[in-house]
Structure 1
Amino acid sequence: MKFYVIGDVTVDHLYHLDHLPAPGEEVVPTHATMKPGGAGGTISVTLARLGHSVTLAARVGQDPFAEYALASVRESGVSQSAIQQDPEHLTSTITVMQTRQGQRAMLSHGAANRQLDPAKLKRKDVEGSDALIVSAYSLTEGPQREYALKAIEAAQKAKKPVPVFIDLGTGAVNKVGTDLIENVIGADYLTLNQHELLALTDTTSISAALAQLGDAGARQVVVKVGKMGSIVWTPTETELVDAVRPQGQVVDSTGAGDTFTAAFAHAVLTGQPLREAARTANAAGALAATRVGAQALPITPADLEEALAR
């Protein structure tokens, strides 16, 4: 299958702490590392490792971090034909602070990613894909937003319409709020976590939030609910899909949601029914969390089969 992915590539600075620092407090991490990350990078790398042909649209700076941010992208064979280089803005970096109890704080900047030039979008590349996957961070602001909207339009108006997957992100929802609904509601598949769902709809319950999305015209929604698994919603049914717990201890949840989305799209495009696709995605997200770094674990179809068999 051929996927066209629009999203950020970043360098993630990961700090594992006993507790998050209070204002003015200096803390010493129990472990610190630097890894390639970003929703676009993680989704595209996961899809490539699952055997698909992937083109990633992202933008990096002309700085030392650019090579590192794209390291896994290159290693996994993702096409870089839509990668742009920015002469003025830096490659995006994210600082993640996380405790053993699952508390997390992040410091991020879109940097070069937000400058993705829409004039360089090749509509034929989107129209010739089997699916378009858009990270909602791409819909928040700047030229990148115009690029993403043009790509979605190209997919939907193609001679043979290309299914659109849109994955929400906490930062994207926090920045744009309920106004983001307008740009994501037309997706064939919408994936997001519980916090993002409630913030996107300004509601206090999952049922009310899903009802609101349904009234707005949502087609198929998958809500990531952590240790409980995921909730699959369509206009005619709602179902909780149990979590899959593979071997290995959870050590880092960074990028697990992006891995979930990639595996979900992989499963849908390879013919799995919606519920089974969500279960496959549950397994992939859980596997990703057993390594430090969003792209650290190369997940293969065999890995997913083994996890699902447990």
Structure 2
Amino acid sequence: MKFYVIGDVTVDHLYHLDRLPAPGEEVTPRHASMKPGGAGGTISVTLARLGHSVTLAARVGDDPFAEYALSRVRESGVSENAIQRDADRLTSTITVMQTGAGERAMISDGAANRQLDPAKLKARDIEAADALIINAYAMIEGPQREYALKAIEAARSAKTRVPVFIDLGTGAVNKAGTSLKADVLGADYLMLNQHELQALTGTSSISAALAQLGEAGAQQVVVKVGKMGSITWTPTETELVDAVRPEGKVVDSTGAGDTFTAAFAHAILGGATMAGAARAANAAGALAATGIGAQERPITAADLAGALPGMVASAPAAAPAAPARTTRARKTSAS
């Protein structure tokens, strides 16, 4: 399968702490590391490791961090044909501080990524893909937003319609708020966590938020609900898909949501139902958290087959022309 991915590539500075520092306080981390990251990079690397052909659209600076940010992308065989260089801005960096109790704080600099030049987008590359995946950080500001919206239009207007997967991010939703909703409703598959869902809709419960999205025209939504797993939703059915417990200790949640997105798209194009794809994605996200760094723990077809027996190791020769529909599933009460 051919995937076209739009999203950030970054250098992640990771600090594992006993507690987050108070203003003006200096603390010593239990562990510190620097890793390649970014939603676009992580989604692309995961898909490439699963055997797909992947093109990543992102922008980096003309600096040493650029090579490091792209190192796993390059090792995994992701096409860099849509990677742009920026002589005036630095490669994006993210500082992540997290505790063993799950508290987390981040400092994120969009830098070169936000300047992704839409004039360089080739519609034929989108039309040739079997799916387009966009992380919502690419949809909040700057030329990168225009690039993403232009790509969505190319996917919609292609002779054979290209399925669009959009994955939100907490920082993107916190910055754009409910104004982001109109842009993401065009997704064939919308993925987000509980906080993002409620912030996007301005509601206080999952069920109310999903009802609002349905009234606005959403067709297929996946809500990540942490230790509970995930919820798949269509206008006619809702299912809670239980979490998959990984073998190995959970040490770092950085990039787990991006890995979830990649595995979900992989499974959908492989013929899985929404619930089946969510089960595989739950497993992939959990496994990703057993390595330090967003791209540290490779996710293999064998990993996903264990979570979803019978799923093909690679996608079939042709992607579905329209979003897959789930079969009747058990109803859940989500609040």
Query: What letter is aligned with 2:85?
Result: Q
Separation of aligned partners in 2, 1:56 and 1:164: 15
Shift of 1:298: 1.1
Distance apart, 1:109 and its partner CA: 0.8
Deviation sequence 1:49-68 (CA, Å, 0-9, x none): 00000000000000110000
Task: Provide the residue aligned with 2:69 in structure 1.
Answer: 69
Equivalence map 1:210-249=2 (5 Å): 210-249=210-249
Structure 1 counterpart SS, 2:16: strand
Secondary structure of residue in 1 paired with 2:215 = helix
Q: What whole-Å deviation, never above 9, does each CA across 1:122-145 have from its counterpart, x for those lacking one?
A: 100000000000000000000000
Give 1:252's aligned residue. Answer: 252
Once the two structures are superposed, the pairs formed by residues 1-310 of structure 1 within 5 Å of their partners are 1-308=1-308
How far does residue 210 in structure 1 lie from its aligned partner after superposition?
Answer: 0.3
Q: Secondary structure at the match of 1:106?
A: strand
Amino acid in the other structure paired with 1:77: G
Unaligned ranges ≥5, structure 1: none
Distance 1:146 1:154 in 2: 12
Contact 2:256–2:285 (CA<8 Å) still a contact in 1?
yes
CA contact (8 A) 2:279 2:307 kept: no
- Report the Cα offset of residue 307 of structure 1: 4.7
After TM superposition, give the deviation of residue 306 of structure 1 in Å: 3.0
CA contact (8 A) 1:245 1:307 kept: no
What is the rounded CA distance, in whole Å, between the counterparts of 1:257 and 1:21 in structure 2? 25
In angstroms, what is the RMSD of aligned CA positions?
0.7
Matched-pair contact (CA < 8 Å) for 1:246–1:307: no
Amino acid of the structure 1 residue aligned with 2:37:
G
Q: Tell me, in whole angstroms, the C-alpha distance in 2 between the residues paired with 1:2 and 1:270.
A: 12
TM-score by length of 2: 0.91
Q: Which residue of 1 aligns with 2:324?
A: none
Provide the rounded CA distance (Å) in 1 between the counterparts of 2:269 and 2:37: 24
Question: Which deviations, in whole Å up to 9, do the C-alpha atoms of 1:210-248 show, x marking residues without a partner?
Answer: 000001100100000000000000000011000011201
Partner of 2:329: none
The offset of 1:308, in angstroms, is 4.9
Cα distance, 1:161–1:307 mapped onto 2, change above 3 Å: closer
Asked whether the 8 Å contact 2:276–2:308 carries over to 1, the reply is no
Shift of 1:119: 0.3
For 1:251 and 1:56, the matched residues in 2 are separated by 27
* Alpha-carbon distance in structure 2 between the residues aligned to 1:274 and 1:199: 24
- Write the letter of the residue equivalent to 2:98: Q
| Percent of aligned pairs with the same amino acid | 80
* Contact 1:283/1:308 (8 A) holds in 2: no
Partner deviation per Cα, 1:263-289 (whole Å, 9 max, x = no partner)? 000000010011100000000000000
Deviations 1:165-186 (A, max 9, x none): 0000000000100000010001
How far did residue 34 of structure 1 move? 0.2
Cα pair 1:264 1:278 within 8 Å, conserved: yes
Between the aligned partners of 2:226 and 2:217, the Cα distance in structure 1 is 26
1:80-133 deviations in Å (ceiling 9; x for gaps): 000000010100000000000010000001000000000000100000000000
Q: 1:305 deviation in Å?
A: 2.0
Q: How many residues align?
A: 309
Contact 1:46 / 1:263 at 8 angstroms: preserved in 2? yes
